[in-house]
Amino acid sequence: MSKALPTILIIPTGIGCALGGFAGDAIPTARLLASASGCLITHPNVLNGASLYWPDKRIEYVEGFALDLFSTGAISLRPVREQRIGILLDSGLETDLKTRHLQVADSCRTTLGLNIGPVAYTEFPLSIELSQGVSGASWGNIREPHILINAAKKLINLGATAIAIISRFPDDENSEQLDSYRKGKGVDALSGAEAIISHLIMKHCLVPCAHTPGLLPLPLDKDLDPRSMAEEIGHTFLPSVLVGLSRAPDLVPLEMDQNINAISPRNHDPTDIRIDQIGAVVIPDSAFGGETVMACMERNIPVVAVSNPCVLSVNAKSLGLDLSNEGGNEFKVIHASNYVEAAGILLSLREGINLSSLKRPIQSIFKTN
C-alpha cells in the first residue's frame, strides 16, 4: 500500500452527533479510518470511552484547540514514546471521588505501565456551571478559571508533560436531559463544558491535555442505549483519558519565515507532522464552520463530509463551500453517506485513484473538454 495519507477526523463535542456523540462510540470509526489512511489525527471526544479505550499507534490523540493551532500552521505534532501525565484534581471533589480517581491513576501505572504523576489540586473548587444553547448544544462556565490555570502550571513545573483534568461536575440524576442522553436521544450535557476546560489549559500551557468529569454513580437502569453504556461500567471516566494522553504527540511551536513564506520548526524533527502533510479532513456534513475545517479548506485540503445527524445544520452549501469538481482528482468537498464510504474515499485518495472513475455512469473525457 502507498505511504500514509495523514487525515484529520473531527466529530465535535456537545452537539449530539448520532455517531460520536456518546462515550467512545466513535472508536470503531477511528480505527477504520486509521487503517484506511495510515495516520489519523483526532481529538479526545472521539477516543474517550470512559473505562474503555483502544490504543493504536496510527492514531494521534490531540485536544481540540490544539487541532485548531495545528491546522492554522502554528504548531506541528511530534510523536513520542510516552508522556508523563500530571493529575489535576478539582478541590471540590469529595474525598471518595478523589480516592477513586487516584486509584485509577495507580492502577494504570501498575497494570498498563503508564508514566503518571505528579498530582496537584486546585486552590479552591472550580464551581463548574452547565448550560445549553438555543440550538441544543451544550456548554458551560468556570467561575474561577485562573485557579485551573495555576494548578496546571504547577504540574508542568513539577515535570508533567501532559495533563489529565478531573473536575467536580453537577449531579442531576433526575433530569430529563440526562435520561434522554442515557437512552440515546439527547446531547451530552457535560461535554461542552469539558471542551472549555481543556481549551483553557491548551491556550495557556500548550501541553497535551484532556478532561474527565467527577460524578457520583448513577442508579442502575436496564433500558439504556448501547452508545451510552461505556459510562455505566466504572467508577470514573479516567482510564481512557490516561491511555490517550500516554502517547499524545508533543506540540511543537512553529515560526513563519517571512522571506520564503514558509513555516519552519524551531527544533525540526523528521517525525514531525505538519499541516502541509495532511491529505484530508473528515467531518459531519452538518458541522462545518469550525476553525480547523476552514483552515484546511483554505489550504485546498479535501474535506470528506459524512452524513452524521446532530443538533446543528451548518453544512457546506449553506456556507457557500460546496465546490466539488468531480471531473478531476481535486475536490473541495466530497460527500459520504457513512464512515464506511468515507474510508473508501480515503483509500482512493491515498492510492491516487481518481474518484470519478469509481462512479457510474462515467462521462467520456471528450465531453468534459
pLDDT of the residue at 368: 59
For residues 15 and 99, state if they share a domain: no
Nearest partner of 240 among 8, 42, 55, judged by Cα? 55
Q: Say if residue 175 is in the same domain as residue 89.
A: yes
pTM of the complete model: 0.92
For position 269, what pLDDT does the model report?
87
Query: What's the pLDDT at 131?
Result: 75
**What pLDDT, on the 0 to 100 scale, is given for residue 328?**
46
Segments forming the whole domain that contains residue 128 = 85-246
Residues 52 and 180 in one domain: no
Cell (9 digits) for 152: 496546571
**Whether 147 and 29 share a structural domain:** no
Which amino acid appears at position 114 of this protein?
A: L
Whether the Cβ atoms of residue 202 and residue 40 lie closer than 8 Å to each other? no
C-alpha cell at 347: 483509500
Closest alpha carbon to 152 in 126, 115, 186: 126
In the chain, how many domains are there?
2
* Segment holding 335, helix H or strand E: strand 333-336
Distant-in-sequence, close-in-space partners of 285: CB < 8 Å, separation ≥ 6: 305, 306, 307, 308, 315, 316, 335
Domain check: are 199 and 273 in the same one?
A: no
Q: What is the pLDDT of residue 327?
A: 44
| Residue 145 exposed, middle or buried by CB count within 10 Å (0-12, 13-18, 19+) | middle
User: From CA 138, how far away is CA 21, in angstroms rounded?
Assistant: 11
Instruction: Note whether 76 and 91 are within 8 A (CB).
Output: no
Residues 208 and 283 reside in one and the same domain = no
**Domain-located, residue 1:** no
pLDDT at position 118: 97
Co-location of 239 and 256 in the same domain: no
**10-residue mean pLDDT series, the chain (369 residues):** 92 91 95 98 96 96 97 96 98 95 97 97 90 71 89 97 94 76 82 87 96 89 91 92 98 69 62 96 93 93 94 82 52 90 97 92 76
Contact of 164 with 88, CB cutoff 8 Å: yes
Q: Are residues 192 and 66 in the same domain?
A: no
What is the amino acid identity at position 57? K
According to the model, what pLDDT value does residue 64 have? 95
CATH assignment at residue 34: 3.40.50
Within-domain flag for 96:
yes
> For residue 248, what pLDDT is reported?
98
